[in-house]
Chains A and B, each alone.
Chain A
């Protein structure tokens, strides 16, 4: 039995294919269209899913959509009715897309995919809950979903058991922890629905003490938090429920100045605002989690929704709440709902027993040795071939040790926003100048943002003050932990200003070559850790195909790419006039 689900029209559209209860393919549309956070109908992602199994749309038994469009429409109209006449501008700008596409999902699915059957619609937060619980390793778990907004819901909790999900309580729009985070992100001059993680990265530069950070007290005036973690806003500080701007003038007055201009230098004040936001977020999350544990009496926790990508808060959960185990799926935000929709239909609606747990994120397109060779030959790209995998691992480890920046293209593309060793750029973390090197050659990031380390699972506790046993979400770079102090100076380029690192752990069964490479690098450097950053040009999605990877290398300062068993050097090939910076938007 095949099931295909899609999510689209808001942010990060995606498609996922399930075969007899197993997720066999999943990808986000942005990787194919090369448009970051693409919201359009995921026609390319859906085609990839079908092609990966050599099937046509006629073999799909059920199709799913990740939302109830009319409930969202109801919420949107309610906003206009409540906020008349202030919402005129957003009414005029948003209504054409509702009329043309958002209300005509059924038509779009049938027309674009030439699908003749019925479509099943699942509530947004139910899709979130299913996307994490039904593919988790737990038979029973407390569920928390927190994001910007689905139809009406912004936060839910419940309990998953076997193939059943019981979502018990909710907090409704306009009160939303995700939208609070986005509002402050917008205030600090970053792009909404994209740069929230940058604000999270900025926070440790500020004062992370509730007693001394004056902006924490100010931000607490904006939000009323109850003992059980439920919350509501004082809406006079916000405009997102009726305007195309998020913070109101009152919020600007509260934070002591107008909205920060894009690409401004971050001052101490801005850093303290980011810190206060992180403090409030953690306060709400931990209160909810204490309450959730009390209600469910279950020690396992699964989370989803955009807020579940807050890896700083995630890393503190097991130490600050009664939960003993945690699991979060790699694509926790809206992009991930397509796997939730398929799993929910298969397991909960149709009643099949769960027979799958998501163990790695390599659900996207992969390319065979033959396909890659054909690409290289056809495009007259100069390359060399490794004799064996061990030859490759030895040579690449030495290159990284000698401070080369290496593009690493293996296996299926990652599912979710993080590069996890399939489309990664690797560098030497022991090099104190690695951050500047990567920034000057490829990433051109804001100075305050750290790079992330990858370490084999059996070495994680040696270098990082992780929970023990190391929780599985670290495989997906979803937990930040302190780096043990004695290693701070050994791996300076992946140690953040507060001494933490957003590590990825890798288990050998997930990606053997990647694991062995890290170990081999450890033999050379004495530290089995690499810098792992996403294989992309600033402002673009992570690369998908060999062509994307080659183009990325030629347009940046990446020294070489290891693609399957092939090595391609930038210096050996004619350098295109491709300038990554002119395309950089964010």
Chain B
């Protein structure tokens, strides 16, 4: 069984364990922006993404 967690799981554990609550807003926003950026790089979905922004 894989013991490495997913990135989102890691980020949540990181905020919780390190008590890095100050970073919560920017991390949430970056996750959302990151999803758009990463999906935006896939040419198949980019027209839809850009149409939304």
Residues of A within 8 A of B (CB): 70, 74, 77-78, 80-81, 95-96, 99-100, 103-104, 106-107, 117-119
B37 touches A100 (CB 8 A): yes
B26 touches A77 (CB 8 A): yes
Q: Closest B residue to A121 by CB, please name it.
A: B4
Residues of B within 8 A of A95 (CB): 30
Q: Closest B residue to A68 by CB, please name it.
A: B14
Number of B interface residues, CB 8 Å?
19
A118 touches B7 (CB 8 A): no
CB distance from A258 to the nearest CB of B (A): 35
Residues of A within 8 A of B27 (CB): 77
A78-B23, A95-B30 provided; 18 other pairs, C-beta below 8 A? A70-B10, A70-B11, A74-B18, A74-B20, A74-B23, A77-B23, A77-B26, A81-B22, A99-B33, A99-B34, A99-B37, A100-B37, A100-B38, A100-B41, A103-B34, A117-B2, A118-B2, A118-B3
Residues of A within 8 A of B14 (CB): 70, 74
CB distance from A109 to the nearest CB of B (A): 10
Can you give 22 contacting A-B residue pairs, CB < 8 Å? A70-B10, A70-B11, A70-B14, A74-B14, A74-B18, A74-B20, A77-B23, A80-B26, A81-B23, A95-B30, A99-B30, A99-B33, A99-B34, A99-B37, A99-B38, A100-B37, A103-B7, A103-B34, A104-B7, A106-B4, A106-B7, A118-B2
Residues of A within 8 A of B41 (CB): 100
The secondary structure that dominates the A interface is helix
Q: Closest B residue to A99 by CB, please name it.
A: B34
Residues of A within 8 A of B23 (CB): 74, 77-78, 81
User: Which residues in window 11-53 of B have CB below 8 A to A?
Assistant: 11, 14, 18, 20, 22-23, 26-27, 30, 33-34, 37-38, 41
CA distance A70 to B15 in the complex (A): 10
Q: Closest B residue to A116 by CB, please name it.
A: B2
Residues of B within 8 A of A81 (CB): 22-23, 26
CA distance A83 to B30 in the complex (A): 18
CA distance A104 to B27 in the complex (A): 15
CB distance from A387 to the nearest CB of B (A): 57
Q: Closest B residue to A80 by CB, please name it.
A: B26
Q: Closest B residue to A103 by CB, please name it.
A: B7
CA distance A103 to B11 in the complex (A): 10
B37 touches A96 (CB 8 A): yes
The secondary structure that dominates the B interface is helix
CB distance from A64 to the nearest CB of B (A): 12
Residues of B within 8 A of A107 (CB): 7
Residues of B within 8 A of A99 (CB): 30, 33-34, 37-38
CB distance from A211 to the nearest CB of B (A): 47
Q: Closest B residue to A117 by CB, please name it.
A: B2
Residues of B within 8 A of A119 (CB): 4
Residues of B within 8 A of A74 (CB): 14, 18, 20, 23
Nearest 9 interchain pairs by C-beta: A99-B34, A70-B14, A118-B3, A118-B4, A99-B37, A77-B23, A106-B4, A77-B26, A119-B4
Q: Closest A residue to B23 by CB, please name it.
A: A77
Q: Closest A residue to B4 by CB, please name it.
A: A118
CA distance A107 to B26 in the complex (A): 23
CA distance A103 to B30 in the complex (A): 11
CB distance from B24 to the nearest CB of A (A): 11
Q: Closest A residue to B5 by CB, please name it.
A: A106
CB distance from A350 to the nearest CB of B (A): 14
CB distance from A120 to the nearest CB of B (A): 9
Residues of B within 8 A of A104 (CB): 7
Residues of B within 8 A of A118 (CB): 2-4
Q: Closest B residue to A109 by CB, please name it.
A: B4
CA distance A472 to B25 in the complex (A): 51
CA distance A81 to B34 in the complex (A): 19
Residues of A within 8 A of B18 (CB): 74
CA distance A70 to B14 in the complex (A): 7
CA distance A70 to B31 in the complex (A): 13
CB distance from A77 to the nearest CB of B (A): 5
Query: Among the interface residues A70, A77, A95, A96, which one has the most CB atoms of the partner chain B within 10 A?
Result: A70
CA distance A81 to B30 in the complex (A): 14
CA distance A64 to B22 in the complex (A): 30
CA distance A416 to B22 in the complex (A): 40
CB distance from B18 to the nearest CB of A (A): 7
CA distance A78 to B20 in the complex (A): 10
CB distance from B48 to the nearest CB of A (A): 19
CA distance A398 to B3 in the complex (A): 61
Q: Closest B residue to A69 by CB, please name it.
A: B10
Q: Closest A residue to B22 by CB, please name it.
A: A81
Q: Closest A residue to B13 by CB, please name it.
A: A70
Residues of A within 8 A of B4 (CB): 106, 118-119
Residues of A within 8 A of B33 (CB): 99
Residues of B within 8 A of A96 (CB): 37
Q: Closest A residue to B11 by CB, please name it.
A: A70
CA distance A95 to B36 in the complex (A): 13
CB distance from A4 to the nearest CB of B (A): 15
Q: Closest A residue to B2 by CB, please name it.
A: A118
CB distance from A472 to the nearest CB of B (A): 38
CA distance A185 to B41 in the complex (A): 37
Residues of B within 8 A of A117 (CB): 2
